[in-house]
Amino acid sequence: MRALVLRGRGEIAYVEKPEPKLLSPHGALLRPKLISPCTSDVHTIWQGSPKKPELTLGHECLAEIIEVGGAVRDFRPGELVAVSAVTPDWSQPDVFKNYAHAGYNFSAHMLGKSIDGAFQELFYLPYADRNLARIPEGMDLLDALMAVDVCQTGFTAAEEGEVRKGQEIAVLGIGAIGLSAILAARHYGAKRIFAVGSRRENAEIAKSFSDEHCQVELIDYKSCVSALPEGLHPLANSTGSPVVNEILKRTSLRGVDSVLLCGGDAKSFPMAVDMVKYGTGIVSNVMYFGAEPGREKLQEEHRGIDALEIPKFSIGRGMAGKTLRFSLSKGGRENLERILHILTTERLHPGCFVTKQYQGLDKTAEAIYDMKERRAIKIAISV
């Protein structure tokens, strides 16, 4: 069986593996039909912590069920299903309190992280009844593919940011996750969304989400020129970013109700803290912060830490009433089917994020490099 595996830091390869077996009565064997490489795959390959040898990558997938265990009740061989990218370990007693870290850190990030993922001819998934989802009848399969990870993550950002009707929201980073967060913020009633990004293709999609109920305003961080509004203390903008100045200006110095942090770099975090409202503002982060070059060695030698900066002034020296949240995407069947239902009933089409398509499992490595070099927003591969 052919599989795309992680050989080591920065090295991937196609190898032959034996076909997986059903490991438990609640599991299923699946054949991928439509897959998508993720920026998380890029992080796993080039920045992630050590993984088991010859780990098969991949966690974004629509698949055909080949075999199910005797305890599986809701799914049958031959069905085409959506596979949640985040697959909670439902054996843990605390999973219903915290799906993401039940039993151990990142327990829900299994596929392509702690167990073999979807970039092979056949793969195993535990807890099929709780981690697989039915695709609504007539739903475009590209829309369904985008739901399994990017839409679940974007909606998580908005939900953790407690987006409500009539609010003003900033979305930092308008890759596929940020674009999904815009859709989610609009769904929850935001009246104004500041979409911060620079890629023209992404910006056009973001603008297309604007309507009479929710205005999406683009701010290009590369071309934005905006001075600190008069009357504000210079420390109100800790990074000196023109984007922060512009958002404070457009919100009459109040700041936004929530910042959905979906992309950027380590500087984006203090920017988010600076631009969010005092008293009730929420910074909702779903972005992966990679290790800063050289910091890992410093940490090992106990001379420093790999850290994010929190601007003291903008947190009121500790008393600003701002909330900071750092979340792994929600996952599992119930959440994924909820997102699929929202997309179909509201006629939302995240399949437009797919700007490149391939045919065949042997194109997966090429697609991963496309994602690394940002040659597409998202990529779909028919297997």
Write out the residue limits of the CATH 3.90.180.10 domain(s) in the chain: 2-140+349-382
Count of CA atoms in the C-beta half-sphere (13 A) of 78: 1
Q: Whole-structure pTM over 0.85, yes or no?
A: yes
At the top level of CATH, the class of 2-140+349-382 is: alpha beta
What architecture is the 150-326 domain classified under in CATH? 3-Layer(aba) Sandwich (3.40)
Phi then psi dihedrals of residue 373, to 5 deg = -95, 5
pLDDT of 318 reads 96
Residue range 69-126, pLDDT digits in tens? 999 999 999 999 999 999 999 999 898 888 899 988 999 989 999 999 999 999 999 9
Ranges in the chain, pLDDT < 50: none
Report residue 238 as tokens: 């800790």
pLDDT of 301 reads 57
pLDDT of 291 reads 64
pLDDT of 305 reads 75
Q: Give the count of beta carbons closer than 10 Å to the beta carbon of residue 176.
A: 29
pLDDT of 191 reads 98
State CA 149 to chain mean position distance: 6
pLDDT of 99 reads 87
Residue 323: which region, alpha, beta or left (left: phi > 0; alpha: psi -120 to 50)? Answer: beta
Write out the residue limits of the CATH 3.40.50.720 domain(s) in the chain: 150-326
Cα(240)–Cα(228) distance, integer angstroms = 8
Largest CA distance in the chain: 68
